[in-house]
Amino acid sequence: MIYDLTIPEDRFYYVRHGETEANATQIISGQRDVALTARGGEQAKNAGRIMKGVAFDAICASPLKRAWNTAEPIARATGHEIIPVPDLMERNWGVHQGQPIDSVTLDAVPKGGESRLAFAARVMRGLNAAFAHGEVVIVAHAGMFHELCIALDVDFGTGRVPNGTPLRFERVDGEWRKTVLE
């Protein structure tokens, strides 16, 4: 089964990286290593302020610069080291990287990139690696968030998960729920 997760804790946290120029202009970054905008940097600092008062065991992040730079203020605020988890990287969109978001569908198999099934399988490996560290903060990408919500049968909402906004996932009576932390 592709959506096979082992989550030993009843709570974890997720933060999508702060805004990038590609996000602001609706361009697919994929695995291109793009930087945060000034606004994205502020979103990351705000995530650090929010997470400072939250108890957790570890921070696991995609090694792409936009996720890593979002995780750094959280690490500074909480005293945790960042654990790089390469399988949490965004989907490789191949030739579509750098193109408008509306130029491709989720089920497309891009030339030089990953199929949706290959991406989902990789993301599940990355999530399982992260969850092995206990109650974690995962700092990653929108595509990974989408696959996570499918795996947990959680509504991922309309549109995209907001940049730099910490979310808490909790298992209540056997079902996962997500809430925004402020």
Residue 29 lies in a domain: yes
Residue 114 lies in a domain: yes
Q: Own/partner pairs for 90-93, CB < 8 Å, 24+ apart?
A: 90/29, 90/30, 90/31, 90/62, 90/64, 90/140, 90/141, 90/142, 90/143, 90/144, 91/30, 91/31, 91/116, 91/119, 91/141, 91/143, 92/30, 92/31, 92/119, 93/28, 93/30, 93/31
pLDDT digits (tens, 9 = 90+) for 57-109: 999 999 999 999 999 999 999 999 999 999 999 999 999 999 998 888 878 88
The pLDDT, as a whole number, for residue 157 is: 74
Residue 43 lies in a domain: yes
Q: pLDDT of the chain along its 182 residues, tens only?
A: 678 899 999 999 999 999 999 999 999 999 999 999 999 999 999 999 999 999 999 999 999 999 999 999 999 999 999 999 999 999 999 999 999 988 888 788 899 999 999 999 999 999 999 999 999 999 999 999 999 999 999 987 766 788 999 999 999 999 999 999 99
Task: For residue 164, give its domain range.
Answer: 11-180
Residue 28 lies in a domain: yes
- 61: domain CATH number is 3.40.50.1240
Encode 139-177: b = buried (16+ Cβ within 10 Å), e = exposed.
Answer: bbbbbbbbbbbebbebebeeeebebbbbbbbeeeeeebe
How many structural domains is the chain composed of?
A: 1
Residue 53 lies in a domain: yes
Residue 5 lies in a domain: no
